[in-house]
Amino acid sequence: MAAFQRTLHRLGERYPALLALLIQLVVTLSMGLAIVAAAHLSAWRPSPLAAGLLHGLLCACLARWLGLSRWWWWLNLLFVPGLLLASGAPLPSWLFLLGFVLLLLLNWNSFGERVPLYLTGAGTRNELARLLEARGEHFSFVDLGCGPAGSLLWLARRFPRAQFTGVETAPLSFAIAWLRCIAQRNCRVRYQNLWRTDLSAMDVAYCFLSPAPMLALWDKARAELPAGAWLISNTFEIPGVPPQRVVELKDWRDSRLLLWEIG
C-alpha cells in the first residue's frame, strides 16, 4: 500500500490535474457500485445531494492523502456537489463547457509543464518586497510563471525604478496579465516558456511552480543567472540544495520563501 501511495504521490507531483481526474473517476465508480448494491439489499436510497456531498468529501480526503495541494482538495470537494446544485437551476448546457474551457486555459501548464496555477498571497508579496529592498532601487526581476500578474504588477508599483518581467504560457492567464501590465512602464509580460527565458540579465528570478521542475530550474539558474543574483522559490525546495535563507510566511498553506544566491 505504501509503495502504491508513493507512486500516486509522484503522479500528483508531475500531473496533478490527471491525478485529480483519476480520483473523481475512482470515487464515482466505487460509490456507484455501493449504491447499486445497497439498492438490491435494502430499501435505502440516498438523495442525490447527500451522495454528492459524500462523493466530494471522499475525493477531498483522497486528494489530501495523495499529497495534492490544498487548491486541489477544494476542487475535488466541490466539483460534483456544484454540478448537482447547478443541474437544478435553469442554466444552459454550454455554460458547463465554457467553465471547463476557462479552467483549462487558466491551468494549461498543469498538463504540459506539470505546473498548476498557484497565486501568491498578499502576505507573501509583503515578505518578498522586504527581501527585494536589499537589492536597492535598481534591479531586474523576472517572475517565471506569473499567472494573471497580480504579484508582478504590485511589485512593479512598489519599486518604480526596477524592471519587472513576467513570462506565462497559459493562454488566459497570459492575456489577463498582459492587459493588466500594459500601462505599467516598468513591467512587461511575455508569452514565453520559462525554459526559453534568458536569465543572464536578471538580478532576481522568482517562481511559484511545483516540486517537479525545481531541480532542472536550479541547473538553468546556475548556468544563466549572474553571480550575486537570487533565485527565490515560493514553498517548493530544490532537492539536495539547501537555501541560504528561508522566510516562514505562517499562512494557511504553510508557505515559505526560499532564497538561493548564485555563486
Domains and CATH numbers, the chain: 2-91 (no CATH), 122-261 (3.40.50.150)
- For residue 184, the model assigns a pLDDT of 95
Q: What are the backbone angles phi and psi of residue 155, rounded to the nearest 5°?
A: -70, -35
* Cβ proximity of 59 and 77 under 8 Å: yes
State the Cα–Cα distance between residues 234 and 250, nearest whole angstrom. 13
* Cβ proximity of 140 and 165 under 8 Å: yes
Q: Are strands 245-248 and 187-191 parallel, antiparallel or unpaired?
A: unpaired
Coil, strand, or helix at residue 225?
Answer: coil
State the Cα–Cα distance between residues 46 and 138, nearest whole angstrom. 63
State the Cα–Cα distance between residues 162 and 88, nearest whole angstrom. 52
State the Cα–Cα distance between residues 67 and 5, nearest whole angstrom. 9
Local mean pLDDT, 10-residue blocks, the chain (263 residues): 60 65 84 80 72 81 74 71 62 54 55 54 86 96 91 95 93 87 95 92 93 91 96 93 91 80 92
State the Cα–Cα distance between residues 56 and 50, nearest whole angstrom. 10
- For residue 111, the model assigns a pLDDT of 46
DSSP assigned state of 236: P
pTM value is 0.62
Where do the DSSP E strands lie in 169-241?
187-191, 204-207, 230-234
